[in-house]
Amino acid sequence: MSDIEVVGKNGMDISLVSEYSKNILRQIAKRSNNPVVIITDVSRTPLEQAKRMYNLVETNGIKYAKNAVYSYKVHSVLNIYDNLKKENKPKQYIVNHMEQEIRVLISKGYFQHCQDPHIKNTFDISVRSLKNHKEFFRVAEEYKNVNQGFDIIDERRNQAPCYHIEITQP
Protein backbone atom coordinates (compact mmCIF):
# COMPACT_ATOMS: atom_id res chain seq x y z
CA MET A 1 0.00 0.00 0.00
CA SER A 2 2.99 2.25 -0.36
CA ASP A 3 1.30 3.65 -3.47
CA ILE A 4 -1.19 5.47 -1.18
CA GLU A 5 0.01 8.77 0.29
CA VAL A 6 -1.14 10.00 3.70
CA VAL A 7 0.12 13.55 4.17
CA GLY A 8 -0.54 16.68 6.20
CA LYS A 9 -2.09 19.69 4.49
CA ASN A 10 0.55 22.25 3.53
CA GLY A 11 3.25 20.27 5.32
CA MET A 12 1.30 19.97 8.59
CA ASP A 13 3.01 17.79 11.18
CA ILE A 14 1.00 14.56 11.38
CA SER A 15 3.41 12.73 13.67
CA LEU A 16 0.61 12.32 16.25
CA VAL A 17 -1.19 10.07 13.76
CA SER A 18 0.19 6.58 14.37
CA GLU A 19 1.42 4.22 11.68
CA TYR A 20 -1.43 1.92 12.74
CA SER A 21 -3.97 4.65 11.88
CA LYS A 22 -2.20 5.58 8.65
CA ASN A 23 -2.32 1.94 7.55
CA ILE A 24 -6.07 1.84 8.14
CA LEU A 25 -6.42 5.00 6.05
CA ARG A 26 -4.29 3.44 3.31
CA GLN A 27 -6.51 0.33 3.25
CA ILE A 28 -9.66 2.42 2.93
CA ALA A 29 -8.07 4.71 0.35
CA LYS A 30 -6.87 1.78 -1.75
CA ARG A 31 -10.29 0.08 -1.70
CA SER A 32 -11.98 3.37 -2.65
CA ASN A 33 -9.49 4.34 -5.39
CA ASN A 34 -8.07 7.39 -3.61
CA PRO A 35 -4.30 7.69 -4.11
CA VAL A 36 -3.86 10.60 -1.65
CA VAL A 37 -5.36 11.30 1.78
CA ILE A 38 -4.72 14.77 3.18
CA ILE A 39 -4.99 15.24 6.95
CA THR A 40 -6.16 18.75 7.84
CA ASP A 41 -6.37 18.58 11.63
CA VAL A 42 -4.90 16.41 14.39
CA SER A 43 -4.97 16.00 18.17
CA ARG A 44 -4.29 19.00 20.37
CA THR A 45 -4.08 19.85 24.05
CA PRO A 46 -6.97 21.47 25.92
CA LEU A 47 -4.93 24.68 26.07
CA GLU A 48 -4.44 24.64 22.30
CA GLN A 49 -8.20 24.06 21.90
CA ALA A 50 -8.98 27.02 24.17
CA LYS A 51 -6.64 29.26 22.17
CA ARG A 52 -8.25 28.15 18.90
CA MET A 53 -11.71 28.88 20.23
CA TYR A 54 -10.64 32.24 21.63
CA ASN A 55 -9.09 33.26 18.30
CA LEU A 56 -12.11 32.03 16.33
CA VAL A 57 -14.48 34.12 18.44
CA GLU A 58 -12.18 37.15 18.25
CA THR A 59 -12.14 36.86 14.45
CA ASN A 60 -15.70 35.77 13.68
CA GLY A 61 -17.81 36.61 16.73
CA ILE A 62 -19.59 34.57 19.36
CA LYS A 63 -22.75 34.15 17.27
CA TYR A 64 -20.80 32.54 14.43
CA ALA A 65 -18.96 30.21 16.82
CA LYS A 66 -22.22 29.08 18.41
CA ASN A 67 -24.29 28.79 15.25
CA ALA A 68 -21.82 27.54 12.65
CA VAL A 69 -18.96 25.81 14.43
CA TYR A 70 -19.63 24.38 17.88
CA SER A 71 -22.40 22.14 19.17
CA TYR A 72 -24.60 23.61 21.89
CA LYS A 73 -23.16 20.92 24.16
CA VAL A 74 -19.88 22.86 24.40
CA HIS A 75 -21.32 26.39 24.42
CA SER A 76 -20.34 26.65 28.09
CA VAL A 77 -16.77 27.28 26.90
CA LEU A 78 -17.96 30.07 24.61
CA ASN A 79 -20.09 31.50 27.42
CA ILE A 80 -16.97 31.74 29.60
CA TYR A 81 -15.27 33.72 26.83
CA ASP A 82 -18.30 35.98 26.47
CA ASN A 83 -18.76 36.64 30.19
CA LEU A 84 -15.08 37.26 30.96
CA LYS A 85 -14.65 39.43 27.87
CA LYS A 86 -17.53 41.63 29.10
CA GLU A 87 -15.65 41.93 32.41
CA ASN A 88 -12.57 43.11 30.45
CA LYS A 89 -10.43 40.23 31.70
CA PRO A 90 -7.08 39.74 29.91
CA LYS A 91 -6.71 37.18 27.14
CA GLN A 92 -4.62 34.68 29.13
CA TYR A 93 -7.09 34.76 32.02
CA ILE A 94 -9.97 34.03 29.63
CA VAL A 95 -8.06 31.28 27.81
CA ASN A 96 -7.12 29.60 31.11
CA HIS A 97 -10.77 29.53 32.23
CA MET A 98 -11.86 28.22 28.83
CA GLU A 99 -9.23 25.48 29.14
CA GLN A 100 -10.58 24.45 32.56
CA GLU A 101 -14.09 24.08 31.11
CA ILE A 102 -12.75 22.12 28.13
CA ARG A 103 -11.10 19.68 30.56
CA VAL A 104 -14.45 19.18 32.31
CA LEU A 105 -16.17 18.55 28.97
CA ILE A 106 -13.48 16.11 27.81
CA SER A 107 -14.39 13.90 30.77
CA LYS A 108 -17.99 13.94 29.48
CA GLY A 109 -16.97 12.78 25.99
CA TYR A 110 -16.64 16.08 24.14
CA PHE A 111 -13.63 17.61 22.36
CA GLN A 112 -12.43 14.39 20.75
CA HIS A 113 -9.44 16.20 19.22
CA CYS A 114 -8.15 16.63 22.80
CA GLN A 115 -7.99 12.90 23.55
CA ASP A 116 -4.64 11.27 24.32
CA PRO A 117 -3.31 10.26 20.87
CA HIS A 118 -1.65 7.17 22.37
CA ILE A 119 -5.12 5.90 23.25
CA LYS A 120 -7.17 7.31 20.40
CA ASN A 121 -6.04 9.04 17.20
CA THR A 122 -8.45 11.78 16.23
CA PHE A 123 -7.98 13.71 13.01
CA ASP A 124 -9.79 15.24 10.06
CA ILE A 125 -9.20 14.56 6.39
CA SER A 126 -10.06 16.85 3.52
CA VAL A 127 -13.11 15.71 1.56
CA ARG A 128 -12.07 17.92 -1.37
CA SER A 129 -8.71 16.20 -1.66
CA LEU A 130 -10.26 12.77 -2.16
CA LYS A 131 -10.66 11.75 -5.78
CA ASN A 132 -13.64 9.55 -4.86
CA HIS A 133 -14.90 10.98 -1.58
CA LYS A 134 -18.29 9.22 -1.65
CA GLU A 135 -16.63 5.85 -2.18
CA PHE A 136 -14.10 6.62 0.57
CA PHE A 137 -16.93 7.30 3.01
CA ARG A 138 -18.82 4.17 1.93
CA VAL A 139 -15.74 1.95 2.38
CA ALA A 140 -14.96 3.62 5.73
CA GLU A 141 -18.53 2.96 6.90
CA GLU A 142 -18.09 -0.71 5.95
CA TYR A 143 -14.83 -0.78 7.91
CA LYS A 144 -16.58 0.86 10.88
CA ASN A 145 -19.30 -1.80 10.87
CA VAL A 146 -16.78 -4.61 11.41
CA ASN A 147 -14.07 -2.82 13.40
CA GLN A 148 -14.89 -1.58 16.86
CA GLY A 149 -12.74 1.40 17.73
CA PHE A 150 -13.07 3.09 14.33
CA ASP A 151 -15.44 5.94 13.62
CA ILE A 152 -15.97 8.34 10.74
CA ILE A 153 -18.23 11.39 10.79
CA ASP A 154 -19.10 13.50 7.76
CA GLU A 155 -18.49 16.99 9.14
CA ARG A 156 -19.93 18.68 6.06
CA ARG A 157 -23.21 18.70 7.99
CA ASN A 158 -21.42 21.22 10.26
CA GLN A 159 -20.18 23.25 7.29
CA ALA A 160 -16.66 21.80 7.58
CA PRO A 161 -15.28 20.21 4.39
CA CYS A 162 -13.85 17.16 6.14
CA TYR A 163 -14.36 13.67 7.44
CA HIS A 164 -13.64 13.39 11.16
CA ILE A 165 -11.98 10.08 12.02
CA GLU A 166 -11.33 8.45 15.39
CA ILE A 167 -9.22 5.30 15.71
CA THR A 168 -8.65 3.57 19.04
CA GLN A 169 -5.03 2.48 19.25
CA PRO A 170 -4.06 -1.17 19.87
pLDDT at 7: 92
Res. 156 pLDDT band, cuts 50 70 90 = confident
- How many CB atoms are located within 10 Å of the residue 79 CB? 14
Q: Which of 22-36, 76-90, 112-126 bottoms out in mean pLDDT, i.e. has the lowest?
A: 112-126
Each residue of 129-147: pLDDT tens digit?
999 999 999 999 999 999 9
Res. 11 pLDDT band, cuts 50 70 90 = confident
Residue that wins the pLDDT comparison between 70 and 28: 28
Give the residue among 134, 135, 126 at the shortest CA–CA distance from 161: 126
Strands of the sheet containing 120-126, edge to edge, are 5-8, 36-41, 120-126, 162-168, 150-154
Each residue of 72-85: pLDDT tens digit?
888 999 999 999 99
CA 81/CA 100 separation, integer angstroms: 12
Do 54 and 94 meet the contact criterion of CB atoms below 8 Å apart? yes
Residue extents of the structural domains in the chain: 5-43+115-168, 46-112
Q: Parallel, antiparallel, or unpaired for β 36-41 and 162-168?
A: unpaired
- Helices 46-60 and 91-106, packing angle to 10 deg: 120
pLDDT at 112: 85
Do 115 and 43 meet the contact criterion of CB atoms below 8 Å apart? yes
